[in-house]
Chains A and B, each alone.
Chain A
């Protein structure tokens, strides 16, 4: 079975991430499914960055700790990762910057190939950063990947400095000998590589996104960059505002004006948006908030991952509120559910939080464009232009018809105050109860919607009496491992309103449960507790790193 793990590392500024992405592209072209984990620090130059590329003939959603190829732009990379090298592994390294002692390969099996990257680049007339391309080219030759494929991928990846990069690559390719032959993969479909952030962006645009507002915050910033660069292609407006409070209030203003609006942030920024979340519920103005979690609390470990905002996000927003909180588990789910989030926000005139994390946002996934065909702009309830327009008309299901400023004959009054049907402020007991009741009926309609949607995914051995419960990015490695080990996997995707029926259905016949989460406390257990669902064991990880496939497999096999 073809399953390779390649790690390429260097200091920040050496281009290891771009190099990792190109390696991913090489394998995608070869017919493999690809997953790339990017590890980087909170700095601009120096330190240690690496990409861990996993390629396989089956679907892969996590990285593997054991490395088959270790590609090192600096010595630090070898020092840090040689311990994970497979006994038959190959090290390809920058011979100009690193000198490995002759007895380095302790078992005599590890092949080490030093390449004079600096000299190769200089001879070709290239820039220092192109050492990363030289290293990839050397790796390609060693692994039996042909020049045609390599040059095709490089031409696609480099619009600027194309000739120079190809020159460097060709020289590097020719400077080493082939050692092994990587076979072609089995994938026939036309696929692409996308990060979770990109998938989220595309899902939103396909569902009619008009404006995106954000303040830079890792790991959500990629959405802002992606959408701003493509504003004209997508016919949207992407805006960087002065702080997160401006961001979310502006999004509500845009939605009030009739524009589908979305914002993106991480835990700290989401905390700043909490008041506006409550405003969105009171004013019944739609907004989608992408919350991409990172290791906290507070500033925490900004470029590393965590799922520890769960309870905060579920309860955020003062007052008696219910909102949609949706937690996709990979890029394809993120694409689909972001589009769904936008549609739900407009159908129910409510905030929707799409809860992801650094692992989803910034890892690179294999993505099928078919997902986009399943997405459209869904109808929402609009005014029939009859009679006097009332923004908060008291209707049975609690969902008042929408109209937007600029509509002749309508006065549209949205408000943060408790209000009457027209939108004027009220304080008397009857009026307050009337509007709260309208919202309560809407919340009930939202609960029914959650139960109608595919709110819970189930994988693995469906009749197993042992179930692993996961949400978000941990579903990736768990899905893989559990399928191998014969467990059932239950992944709630909609976390609010909680899909009680669907979860309990999935738990039928299950006697033992384990929760796997990248938090210190296993927060989903507390949520499940509220529905009398007991968790027997928690497998937690809170070092800022995602679970790897081998790690989960190891821990779950000990649970049998």
Chain B
């Protein structure tokens, strides 16, 4: 079965999502070769431009409500722990509407991989500001410029005890591909914030190209080192910042419900003891 679904692509030409889609497809192929069957992969998504990825791939998927894909993803994992879950989300989706689910999934250390298509705007609804839009962001709901600072989602994830924290860039597909494979293979909650320009409402292409650089972190278990990398850029539009990309933090800690009562469909009949 081919990976591409028979569906017309409706992303704007030049959309960062094309790079993410390519990385995701390549990652799935690598995972297949490593022994993960395509039928055991489940994608979930929220609502936004990111989520259309689901229509473009011939993979099991649950296209959920805005902000709620990560909650669904956890339910899928609890329902059948044998499945490999990749939860796609947008910044508006995961950092605004559904932020409680993101935080608790990380805290729970449930074994899913979360990929945030972070274009720092609500693109599909024509360009409002989100949690990671910079102060002064001019959009349809902030014509005078947003009067809120962005927060730093990687810092939030570190505080939420995420056990795998990375940042990627949609224009660097191969780098992203490798991170996705690592994220799925990681035992526990994996988080990748993927910066992507939005050609229609927030074209950060040049801004990112001038500032991103790849890091190879040697001590992935050091929270202190991770925080240094994470704090290098606060999602603002400062001229003189540098934006590190790569895996900043990876630890092992108890995975939610690992080894607990097995998968649903295969549990068999129930005994009821009144006592």
Question: Chain A: residues with CB nearer than 8 A to chain B?
Answer: 192, 202, 205-206, 208-211, 213, 231-237, 239, 241-243, 245-246, 249-261, 275-276, 279, 283, 369, 372, 377, 404-417, 422-425
**Given A253-B62, A425-B63, A406 contacting B82 (CB threshold 8 A):** yes
* C-alpha spacing A422/B71, complex, angstroms: 23
Write the nearest CB–CB distance from B190 to chain A, whole angstroms.
18
Question: In this assembly, does B104 line the interface, its C-beta being within 8 Å of a C-beta of chain A?
Answer: yes
**Given A253-B74, A257-B80, A424 contacting B42 (CB threshold 8 A):** no
Contact partners of A417 in chain B: CB under 8 A: 63
Question: In this assembly, does B14 line the interface, its C-beta being within 8 Å of a C-beta of chain A?
Answer: no
How many A-B Cβ pairs are below 8 Å?
185
Write the nearest CB–CB distance from A248 to chain B, whole angstroms.
8
**CB-based nearest A residue for B52:** A425
**Given A406-B39, A412-B60, A253 contacting B76 (CB threshold 8 A):** yes
* C-alpha spacing A259/B77, complex, angstroms: 10
* C-alpha spacing A405/B55, complex, angstroms: 16
- The answer to whether B264 touches A210 (Cβ under 8 A) is yes
Can you report 5 A-B residue pairs in the complex whose CB atoms are below 8 A from each other?
A: A210-B79, A245-B100, A251-B75, A256-B79, A423-B63
**CB-based nearest B residue for A247:** B71
- The answer to whether B78 touches A211 (Cβ under 8 A) is yes
- The answer to whether A250 touches B261 (Cβ under 8 A) is no
Interface string of B160-197 (1 = CB under 8 A from A): 00000000000000000000000000000000000000
Partner of A411, one of B58, B257, B261: B58
* C-alpha spacing A42/B19, complex, angstroms: 54
- The answer to whether A405 touches B47 (Cβ under 8 A) is no
Contact partners of B260 in chain A: CB under 8 A: 237
Which residues of B from 97 to 127 have beta carbons under 8 Å from A?
A: 100-101, 103-104
* C-alpha spacing A442/B174, complex, angstroms: 46
Partner of A258, one of B5, B65, B100, B265: B265
Partner of B42, one of A233, A237, A405: A405
- The answer to whether B64 touches A255 (Cβ under 8 A) is no
- The answer to whether B75 touches A213 (Cβ under 8 A) is yes
Contact partners of A258 in chain B: CB under 8 A: 79-80, 263-265
Question: In this assembly, does B270 line the interface, its C-beta being within 8 Å of a C-beta of chain A?
Answer: yes
**CB-based nearest A residue for B98:** A245
- The answer to whether B270 touches A205 (Cβ under 8 A) is yes
- The answer to whether A405 touches B80 (Cβ under 8 A) is yes
- The answer to whether B261 touches A237 (Cβ under 8 A) is yes
**CB-based nearest B residue for A201:** B272
- The answer to whether A250 touches B5 (Cβ under 8 A) is no
Interface string of B252-275 (1 = CB under 8 A from A): 000001001101110111111110
* C-alpha spacing A470/B103, complex, angstroms: 45
Question: In this assembly, does B146 line the interface, its C-beta being within 8 Å of a C-beta of chain A?
Answer: no
**Given A231-B261, A255-B79, A406-B39, A424 contacting B7 (CB threshold 8 A):** yes
Contact partners of A236 in chain B: CB under 8 A: 261, 267, 270
Contact partners of A405 in chain B: CB under 8 A: 39-40, 42, 60, 76, 80, 83
- The answer to whether B270 touches A237 (Cβ under 8 A) is no
Which residues of B from 25 to 62 have beta carbons under 8 Å from A?
A: 37, 39-40, 42, 44, 47, 52, 54-55, 58-62
Most buried by B among A241, A407, A409: A241
Partner of B75, one of A231, A250, A409, A416: A250
* C-alpha spacing A254/B76, complex, angstroms: 4
**CB-based nearest B residue for A236:** B261
- The answer to whether A404 touches B265 (Cβ under 8 A) is yes
Partner of B72, one of A208, A253, A259, A410: A253
**CB-based nearest B residue for A205:** B270
Contact partners of A202 in chain B: CB under 8 A: 272
- The answer to whether B265 touches A259 (Cβ under 8 A) is yes
**CB-based nearest B residue for A411:** B58
* C-alpha spacing A202/B275, complex, angstroms: 12
* C-alpha spacing A372/B71, complex, angstroms: 33
Write the nearest CB–CB distance from B165 to chain A, whole angstroms.
20
- The answer to whether A279 touches B65 (Cβ under 8 A) is yes
- The answer to whether B79 touches A234 (Cβ under 8 A) is no
**Given A245-B71, A259-B264, A412-B60, A253 contacting B271 (CB threshold 8 A):** no
**Given A206-B272, A415-B62, A237 contacting B72 (CB threshold 8 A):** no
Interface string of B11-26 (1 = CB under 8 A from A): 0000000000000000
* C-alpha spacing A205/B5, complex, angstroms: 39
- The answer to whether A408 touches B37 (Cβ under 8 A) is yes
Q: Number of B interface residues, CB 8 Å? A: 52
**Given A243-B100, A411-B60, A415-B62, A205 contacting B272 (CB threshold 8 A):** yes
Question: In this assembly, does B154 line the interface, its C-beta being within 8 Å of a C-beta of chain A?
Answer: no
Most buried by A among B37, B77, B79, B267: B79
Contact partners of A232 in chain B: CB under 8 A: 261
Contact partners of A239 in chain B: CB under 8 A: 78
- The answer to whether B101 touches A237 (Cβ under 8 A) is no
- The answer to whether A254 touches B272 (Cβ under 8 A) is no
Contact partners of B40 in chain A: CB under 8 A: 405-406
- The answer to whether B261 touches A252 (Cβ under 8 A) is no
* C-alpha spacing A257/B68, complex, angstroms: 16
Contact partners of A251 in chain B: CB under 8 A: 75
Question: In this assembly, does B198 line the interface, its C-beta being within 8 Å of a C-beta of chain A?
Answer: no
Which residues of B from 225 to 275 have beta carbons under 8 Å from A?
A: 257, 260-261, 263-265, 267-274
Contact partners of A241 in chain B: CB under 8 A: 71, 74, 104
- The answer to whether B62 touches A256 (Cβ under 8 A) is yes
Other than A205-B270, A253-B75, A259-B78, give 14 A-B pairs with Cβ distance below 8 A.
Answer: A209-B270, A210-B264, A213-B75, A235-B270, A242-B104, A243-B100, A246-B71, A249-B64, A254-B79, A257-B265, A417-B63, A423-B63, A424-B5, A425-B63
Question: In this assembly, does B86 line the interface, its C-beta being within 8 Å of a C-beta of chain A?
Answer: no
Write the nearest CB–CB distance from A415 to chain B, whole angstroms.
4
- The answer to whether B39 touches A413 (Cβ under 8 A) is no
Contact partners of B77 in chain A: CB under 8 A: 253, 257
Most buried by A among B1, B52, B64, B73: B64
**CB-based nearest A residue for B47:** A416
Contact partners of A416 in chain B: CB under 8 A: 47, 63-65
- Give the top 5 A-B pairs by smallest Cβ distance, nearest first: A253-B75, A259-B264, A257-B79, A250-B75, A254-B79
**CB-based nearest A residue for B273:** A233
- The answer to whether B274 touches A369 (Cβ under 8 A) is yes
- The answer to whether A246 touches B274 (Cβ under 8 A) is no
* C-alpha spacing A124/B1, complex, angstroms: 76
Write the nearest CB–CB distance from B40 to chain A, whole angstroms.
6
- The answer to whether B71 touches A253 (Cβ under 8 A) is yes
Write the nearest CB–CB distance from B30 to chain A, whole angstroms.
19
**CB-based nearest B residue for A207:** B270
Partner of A257, one of B37, B47, B75, B261: B75
Write the nearest CB–CB distance from A134 to chain B, whole angstroms.
26
**CB-based nearest A residue for B104:** A242
* C-alpha spacing A417/B260, complex, angstroms: 34
- The answer to whether B75 touches A254 (Cβ under 8 A) is yes
Partner of A259, one of B59, B65, B68, B80: B80
Contact partners of B39 in chain A: CB under 8 A: 405-411
- The answer to whether B261 touches A242 (Cβ under 8 A) is no
